Structure 1
Amino acid sequence: MQIKSKFLIAGAIIALIALTSMQGYLTFNTFDLRKKSFAVDSRTKIGDIVKTKYVDSLSWHYRMDFVDKIPDYKRNRISKEELLADLKFFANDRNDEFTEYFNKEAERLGLNENILFKKVASSIQLIDENGNVENLLIEDKDSPIFLIGTDFLLEEGLLINAWNWTFDKGFINDNHQLESVTVKYRASIYMKIVDWDKIIFKQLLFLFLIAFLLFLFVISLVTYSIRNLFKHKRISDIKTDFINNITHELKTPLSTLSIATKTLTNRFAKDNTDIAKESIDTINRQNKRLQNLIDQVVDNSLGYNDINLNLEQVSLPDFINEVCDDFALTLPTNIQFLRDVEVNDTEVEIDKFFLGTAIINILNNAIKFDGTVLKIKYNITNNMHTIAVSDNGIGISKKNKKLIFDKFYRVSEKNMHTYKGLGLGLYYCSQIVKAHHGLIDVESKVKEGSTFYIKIPVENGKENFIS
C-alpha cells in the first residue's frame, strides 16, 4: 500500500508538471501568434492609409520639390548635403498635414493609437546621359532621411514596405545645353508598436486569468487528492491496527472461556464440585472482562455531543484532591506523585464522574509511557480553571502531537506499537472536556516528558470554548 501510494503521488506530481509545462507552452504560443496577428493587421491598416491618393499627392509634392533642386546641385550651386537637407525640409513641411490625415484615418480603421508610422528615404541615385551613377544616399550605409510620420529609431520599428520611384529631370546646364538626369529614389516605411507586450497582454488578459484559475484548480485538486490519500491511508492503518489490537485483547478471555467450558463439560468435573465452581468463577470473570472491554470501546467512542453530563456545583480544589487521593492508593512505590492545588472559593458546574475519568486517564497515560514523576497543578488563569498534569515520560513528537486526540490513534515507533491500548483514552478525555465547554492541549518534547492542560471556563456553560 505504501509503495503504491508513493507511485500514485509521484505520478500525480509528474502529470502536474507536464500539464503545467504544456499549458505554459500553449499560452506562450498563443501570445506569440497574437503578436504576429496584431502586427499583420496593423501593417494592413497602415498600408490602406498610405496608399491613398491623398498621401500619394503629398509624397509627389515633396519629391518634386526635391527634384527641382537637382539642377542647382548639378550646376554646383548647392552641395550634396544641402540637397539632401532640402529633401528632408520639403517632406517635413508636409508632415503636419500628413499626421492629421493619418490620425483621422487610423481612428476610422480602428488602428491602435500606440502604432507609430515612419517613412524614410533609404537610397537616392543620379544617373546622367552617359550612364554615370552618383550615389547621393546609399542604403544600409548612410543614415536614412526622415520624411513623414513620427521619427523613431529604425531598430525599434518593423519594416512594412519599400518601393522605388524613378523620374527623368531635364535642365539647361552652364553651357546652355539641354541635359537630362535620371533620379532613382527608394523609400521605406516602418511602423513601431509602443508597449507591444502590454497591448497583447490586455487583449489576452481574460484568457490568462482563466488559465491561471485552471492552474490553481488543478494544483488544489492534486494537493487535495494527495492529502486525502494520506488521510485515508492513515485511517486505514488506524483501523487495521485497532482491529488487530482488539482481536489480541479478545483472544485472552476467549481462550480462557474455552478452557473453562471444556473443563465443565469434562466427565471428571461433573462429580467434582470444586472444579466446577472454579470453572464457573473463571467464566464469570472472563465474561465480565469481555463486557468491560466492549463497554470501553462503546463508551470511549462517544462524541462530546453524545455524553450526557450530570452537572453539579463543585469546588474544583476539593474535587481534584479527592481524585488524587484515590489515584495515589493505586500507585507503585517507584512513582513520585506531586500536587500543587490552588485553594479558592470559586465553584464550577461539572460531572464529577466524567471529569474524574479524564484526569485519571491522563495520569494513567503518564505512567504507561514511562513517567516516574507525576505532578498535577490547578489554578485559575485568564478566567479559566486550569488543570495541568505533567510527567517526565518519553514525551511526544511534533508529528504525533497533532494526532493524539484523534479516535483510535496510538503513538507508534517505526511502525511498531510498543505500548498497549486501543487509542481511545485521550480521544475520550478530549470529548469529556469539550462536553464541559473546555479546551484540552498538550506541551511536550521527546524524552523530556509532557504536560496536558485541561481548561474549563469559570462561568461554565455560558460561553462555548470548543476549539
Structure 2
Amino acid sequence: MNKREKFLISSLLWFTGLVLLFVIIYFLSIVKFNNAYMEEEYHELPIFQKQIEYAISPYLENKDFKSLEKYCRIFENTDVKIKIFDKDKKLIASSLTNDKESVLDESQDLNADSQNKRKFDIIDRHKIIGLVKKVQPGNEAYYLKLTVSEEDVMKILLQAQHYLFLFILLFILFVISSIIYIIQKLRIPFNVLQESVIKIANGELDTEIKVPKLELLEELAVCIKKMAQRLKNQINRLKQLEEYKSDFIQNVSHEIKTPITAINSAIELLELKNNINEQDKECYEIIVHQSKMLNSLVNDILSLSEIEVEKTGEHKNFKRFALNELIESIVNYTIPSDIKINLINKHIINLLGDKELISTAVSNLLINAVKYSKSENIDVIISCVENFAQIEVKDYGIGISQEHLPFLFDRFYRVDKARSRKNGGTGLGLAIVKNITELHNGTIAVKSNLGEGSNFIIRIPMENI
C-alpha cells in the first residue's frame, strides 16, 4: 500500500468518524428538540384556550350543540383534543368520534402548578398535558377541556424525524459510495501514470505515457507527456553538445600534441649531440620546461574531459578492488627521498569503483602535498566512516588561507600562481580529483589553516549504484 492509498483510506476513516459524530449530535438534538416542542405546546394551551372559548361562546349561549359538535370535529385530526361539558360535568361535544369520557374526570389535576415545572421525556409517551377552564357565556356554566397527548405528538415528530434521519443516512451512504467509486476509478489510471513518471525520473525517457480517458487526469497526463518529450529533446541536445565539446577537445589536443612531439624529438636530438653552449643552455631549459608543462596540461584536459563524459553516462564500469593495496602502491611510487609518507590503515576496504581513476585522484592529492605543502611528514589515512570509504591526505606544512578554500577545486585556480608555474602545476589537479569523486557519488572536502597544514578528505560510498 503506497502513501497515496494510505492517505485516501485515512481520509475515508476520518469522514466516517465525522459521520458518526454527526449522528450522535443529531440524536441528542432530536431529544432536546422534542422536549422543547412539548414545553412550547404546554405554554401555548392558554392562548389556544382563549381562542376556542371565543369561538364556542355563541354556540353555548344559543345552546346550539349540533353546531358545537361540528365545530369540535374540525380538530379531530389535530394533536389538541377539545371536550366541552355542561354544568353537571356531562360531555356535550368532543373532537373525538367515540369519546369514552362521558363525565369530566376530575382526578386529573391538569391545572396543578407542578405542570409548569415538568420535564418531558420521549421515552414516556403516555403523558397527557392540558387544562380545564370554566366558561359562562350566558346564565349557565360550562367546562372547556383541552388536552395534548405526548404519545400522539411524539408519534408525528418521530415519524418525521425518522424520515429525515433515513434521508440523511442514505445521502451519507451515497457520498461514501461515490467517494469509493471515484477512488477506485482514479486509482488504476493514476497508478499507471505514476509508474510512467517514475520510469522517466529514472532516465527511461522513451517510456510511453498513456493518456487516460478520465478528464481529471487527462490534462495532467498530456502535460507530463509534453514535459518528457521536451526533456528528452533537451538531453539529446546536451549530449550532442557534449559530443561536439569532446570532439573539439580531442582534435585540439591532437593538434597541440603533434608540435609538442616534434619539439620533444628536437630536444632529444639536441641532448644526443651534447653540443649546447652555455649561452644557449638557458633557452634550451626553458623550452624543455614549457614543453613538459604543455604536455601535462593537454593530458589533464583530456583526463578531465573523459571523466566529465563518463559522469553523464547512466552505467558506470565499476569493479571491486582492494583500496588499501592500491594506495600502498601509490605511496611506494610517490615517496621522495626527503619526505616521509605514513600509510595508516584503520580499516581494510574493498571498494566498488574505477581503480584507475581512484589511483589518479589519490596520486594528485599526494603530489600536491609533496610539491606545495613544504611538510616533512605526510599521512595517508584509510578508514570506514558510516558506510563510506574515507581517504585522508594530511600534511603538516604551510597550510592554505581560508579565503582560498572555496575555490580550490575550480579549474585553473592556483593559490600561489608563481609557485605553481615554477613547479609545473596546471591548475587542474584538484578539479580532476573532485570530478573523480563525484563520478563515484562521493564528496571531497578540505580543512586547512595557515601554518597548521592541510587535510584533504575523500568520502566514497562503499556500495555505488
TM-score of Structure 1 vs Structure 2, range by shorter chain: 0.3 to 0.5
Structure with greater contact order relative to length (CA < 8 Å, sep ≥ 6): 1
Structure of higher CA gyration radius: 2
Q: Larger % of helix: which?
A: 2
Under a length normalisation based on structure 2, what TM-score does the superposition of the two structures give? 0.36
Under a length normalisation based on structure 1, what TM-score does the superposition of the two structures give? 0.36
